[in-house]
Amino acid sequence: MDKRPIGIFDSGVGGLTVVKQIMKTLPNENIIYFGDTARLPYGTKSKKTVTKFSKQIVRFLLTKNVKAVIIACNTASSNSLEELRQTFDIPIFGVIVPGVEEAIHCTKNKKVGIIGTTSTIRSKAYETLLAQADSSIEVYAKPCPLFVSLVEEGWTENMVAKLTAKNYLTDLIEKEIDSLVLGCTHYPLLKRCIGETVGNNIKLVDPAKATARMVKEFLAKHKLLQQGETVAERYFYISDDTDTFSNMCKKALKKEYIPEVIDIEAY
Ligand code: DGL
């Protein structure tokens, strides 16, 4: 039994889709969330910059005595996971491996689409792991950078969102993929719009559930679970004050949380 919180971070609100699954799968766990609202998007930045930001965030989370860190951001997972693991002596989880496992589980015709930020797609993290797991899978990857801005703006179901989705996704549909990995934690907040665009024959793969399962198994195996009847505490931190964060928090988690603004550059 370990009461220390789990640290979870993203560039903004996207990681809340992972928080939601952690809250479902591990309801007793205390959570410290950090959203880097001052410095997003990460998806257009270099590996060096994303890794520098990620290290600062892990240092901040360590001041909150976290027992494990979840990188609830595909961009940081694909660019910085290895370096973070080498730098910090704490269990650190990314979202790519669980996403790959889920995609392999979902695809029947072995044609998988991956959408993510420019940086995630450029890293080829999904393609590499999918090819290692099953070389017969055909992978079609496409960066969809505008989706992040739409989510941060709260434009998840309007005409602009629908037209953007159609524009980005039409050629993936034409490849006859049967599974589409939402390789950016912001994208599940556009699930309805993306789902309507690709239709019922294409299954949307959200790595968040598989990530939560993986973290639970690890904590159980290492006797790090928080057990008992105590009500879990969840604290939210951001690097710049935005209305969007509170609004999306309410939408994603069905509860109002007031985030605290911190100076992440100080870490
Ligand atoms: N939500 C993040 C991801 O999963 C990054 C979005 C961004 O800041 O560009 O990649």
Quick: pLDDT tens for 76-86. Answer: 999 999 999 99
pLDDT at 227: 78
Strand ranges for 90-233 from DSSP E: 92-93, 111-116, 138-143, 179-183, 203-205
Please say whether the beta carbons of 229 and 206 come within 8 A. no
Q: Say yes or no to pLDDT of 231 above 90.
A: no
Please say whether the beta carbons of 73 and 14 come within 8 A. yes
Distance 41 CA to ligand 1 centre (A): 6
Q: What is the DSSP letter of 114?
A: E
What's the rounded mean pLDDT across residues 44-70? 98
* Catalytic hit among 144, 184, 193, 249: 184
Q: Say yes or no to pLDDT of 228 above 80.
A: no
Q: Is residue 249 annotated as part of the catalytic site, yes or no?
A: no
Cα first-last separation, the chain? 29
Q: Is residue 193 annotated as part of the catalytic site, yes or no?
A: no
Compute the distance between CA of residue 70 and CA of residue 19 in angstroms, rounded to an integer.
9
Lowest model confidence (mean pLDDT) among 32-36, 126-130, 225-229? 225-229
Residue of 258, 266, 267 lying closest to 238 (CA atoms): 258
CB neighbour list of residue 70: distance below 8 Å, 6 or more residues apart: 6, 7, 8, 9, 18, 22, 92, 93, 95, 211, 215
- Pocket lining: 198 vs ligand 1, CB cutoff 6 Å: no
pLDDT at 47: 96
pLDDT at 152: 85
pLDDT at 10: 97
Strand ranges for 43-85 from DSSP E: 68-71
The confidence band for 1, taking pLDDT boundaries of 50, 70 and 90, is: confident
- Mean pLDDT for the chain? 95
Distance 1 CA to ligand 1 centre (A): 32
Please say whether the beta carbons of 78 and 119 come within 8 A. yes
Ligand 1 atom at minimum distance from 42 CA: 8
Distance 71 CA to ligand 1 centre (A): 11
Q: Say yes or no to pLDDT of 236 above 90.
A: yes
Place of tokens 């979840």: 70
For residue 265, how many C-alpha atoms fall within 13 Å in the half-sphere facing its CB?
3
**195: its two tokens:** 């789902």
- Residue 117's identity, in one-letter code, is T
Q: Say yes or no to pLDDT of 58 above 80.
A: yes
Report the percent of the chain where pLDDT is more than 70: 100
Neighbours of 222 (CB within 10 A): 12
pLDDT at 44: 94
Q: Say yes or no to pLDDT of 193 above 90.
A: yes
The confidence band for 6, taking pLDDT boundaries of 50, 70 and 90, is: very high
User: Who has greater pLDDT, 255 or 238?
Assistant: 238
Compute the distance between CA of residue 45 and CA of residue 243 in angstroms, rounded to an integer.
24
Task: Compute the C-alpha angle 97/23/253, nearest 5°.
Answer: 105
Ligand 1 atom at minimum distance from 78 CA: 10
What's the rounded mean pLDDT across residues 21-45? 96
Q: Which residues pair with 203 in a beta bridge?
A: 179
What's the rounded mean pLDDT across residues 3-25? 95
Q: Say yes or no to pLDDT of 199 above 90.
A: yes
Q: Say yes or no to pLDDT of 247 above 90.
A: no
pLDDT at 241: 85
What's the rounded mean pLDDT across residues 207-214? 96
